[in-house]
C-alpha cells in the first residue's frame, strides 16, 4: 500500500508530466465507481479548467484547478501514469490540451477520487494530524498528545489523527531507528523519546522519498519508475534475518491486524 514517500513521488512525477497551467480537455470514466462512486458531473466540471498545481496531504494527492480540488487516494493498488498504451483496469482518463493524457489505473479499486469546490472549506482533512515533515510535528507536540494514551507506540503513530501519512512500513523502520519498542505504551514516552521519534520519522521519510519510495509488489511513480528504498529496510519484511546493528534475529508479530517487525535487543 503506497505511503507518504510513494505518494510524494507520484506527485513529483505527475508535475513533470503535466505542465503547470495545462488546460483540461476531456475526462473519461470507464466505470461508475472505484471504492466510492465517481463524483456527479466530474467530467463536465473539469472541462476547460487549468491544472494549477498538484499538492499532497498525508496519502492524498490534490489536483488544484481554477475552481476545484480533485482529491485522489491510491488505496492499495491505484496508480497514475501518462497514457501511452491502454491497459486493463484503466478507470479514468484525463486529457489535457496540447498535452498528455493521465490515466488512473486500479485493479483492486480501493482508491478513489473526490471533487471539492475551492470556495468552500475542505473538510476532508479536518481529522488528520500534522504532516510529519512539517514544523508542527515536534517532540513537544508528540509528548502532549501521548499523555494518558494506552495504545502501543506503533498503533499510536499509525493513527492518522496523531500524525498524517505514516503506514506500517515507515513506522516499523522509524521505530527501529529510534531504538524504541513498538509495544511500549504511548503514555510512557518521555520528551527525549519523542525527540528521537520525530528525528527518526523525518530521516526515514526523507531517505525514502529520495530513493523514489519502496516497491514491495507493484508500486511505480507516474513515470513508471519503481522505488528502491526496500533495499535498505532494516526491519520491515526481514523476520528471521540478522539485525543490521546487533546481528540478533529480526522478529515478527501480529499487532492490531498488521505485521510488526522489530529487534528485541535494539528496541526497548
Ligand atoms: Zn538489533
Mean pLDDT of 176-191: 98
| Span 189-206, pLDDT tens digits | 999 999 999 999 999 999
If pLDDT is split at 50, 70 and 90, which confidence band does 218 have? confident
Which is the catalytic residue, given 45, 59, 81, 234? 59
202 is catalytic: no
Which is the catalytic residue, given 3, 8, 49, 173? 3
Under DSSP, is residue 212 helix (H, G, I), strand (E, B) or coil? coil
Beta carbons of 96 and 63 less than 8 angstroms apart: no
Question: What is the pLDDT at residue 99?
Answer: 86
Residue whose cell numbers read 528502491: 228
Please provide the average confidence, as pLDDT, over all residues in the chain: 96
CA of 245 to the centre of ligand 1 (A): 5
If pLDDT is split at 50, 70 and 90, which confidence band does 1 have? confident
2 is catalytic: yes
Whole-number Å distance between alpha carbons of 22 and 26: 12
Question: What is the pLDDT at residue 237?
Answer: 97
DSSP 242: B
Question: What is the pLDDT at residue 121?
Answer: 86
CA of 267 to the centre of ligand 1 (A): 7
CA of 178 to the centre of ligand 1 (A): 12
Question: What is the pLDDT at residue 75?
Answer: 95
223 is catalytic: no
Is the whole-model pTM more than 0.75? yes
| Span 100-116, pLDDT tens digits | 999 999 999 999 999 99
Q: How far apart are the first and last CA of the chain?
A: 28
23 is catalytic: no
Amino acid at each position: 500500500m503506497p505511503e507518504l514517500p510513494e505518494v510524494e513521488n507520484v506527485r513529483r512525477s505527475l508535475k513533470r508530466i503535466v505542465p503547470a497551467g495545462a488546460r483540461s480537455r476531456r475526462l473519461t470514466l470507464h466505470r461508475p465507481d472505484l471504492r466510492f462512486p465517481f463524483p456527479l458531473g466530474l467530467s463536465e466540471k473539469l472541462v476547460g479548467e487549468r491544472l494549477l498545481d498538484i499538492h499532497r496531504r498525508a496519502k492524498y494527492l490534490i489536483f488544484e484547478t481554477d475552481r476545484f480540488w480533485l482529491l485522489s487516494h491510491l488505496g492499495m493498488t491505484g496508480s497514475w501514469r501518462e497514457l501511452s498504451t491502454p491497459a486493463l483496469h484503466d478507470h479514468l482518463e484525463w486529457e489535457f490540451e496540447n498535452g498528455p493524457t493521465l490515466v488512473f489505473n486500479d485493479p483492486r479499486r480501493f482508491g478513489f477520487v473526490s471533487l471539492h469546490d475551492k470556495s468552500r472549506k475542505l473538510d476532508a482533512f479536518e481529522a488528520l494530524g500534522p504532516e510529519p515533515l512539517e514544523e508542527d510535528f515536534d517532540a513537544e507536540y508528540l509528548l502532549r498528545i501521548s499523555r494518558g494514551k494506552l495504545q502501543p507506540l506503533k498503533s499510536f503513530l499509525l493513527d492518522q489523527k496523531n500524525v498524517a501519512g505514516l503506514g506500517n512500513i515507515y513506522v516499523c523502520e522509524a521505530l527501529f531507528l529510534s531504538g524504541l519498542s513498538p509495544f511500549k505504551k504511548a503514555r510512557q514516552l518521555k520528551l527525549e523519546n519523542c525527540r528521537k521519534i520525530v528525528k527518526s520519522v523525518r530521516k526515514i521519510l526523507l531517505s525514502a522519498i529520495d530513493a523514489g519510495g519502496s516497491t514491495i509488489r507493484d508500486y511505480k511513480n507516474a513515470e513508471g519508475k519503481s522505488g528502491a528504498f526496500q533495499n535498505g529496510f532494516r526491519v520491515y519484511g526481514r523476520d528471521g534475518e540478522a539485525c543490521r546493528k546487533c546481528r540478533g534475529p529480526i522478529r515478527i508479530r501480529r499487532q492490531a491486524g498488521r505485521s510488526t517487525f522489530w529487534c528485541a535487543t535494539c528496541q526497548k
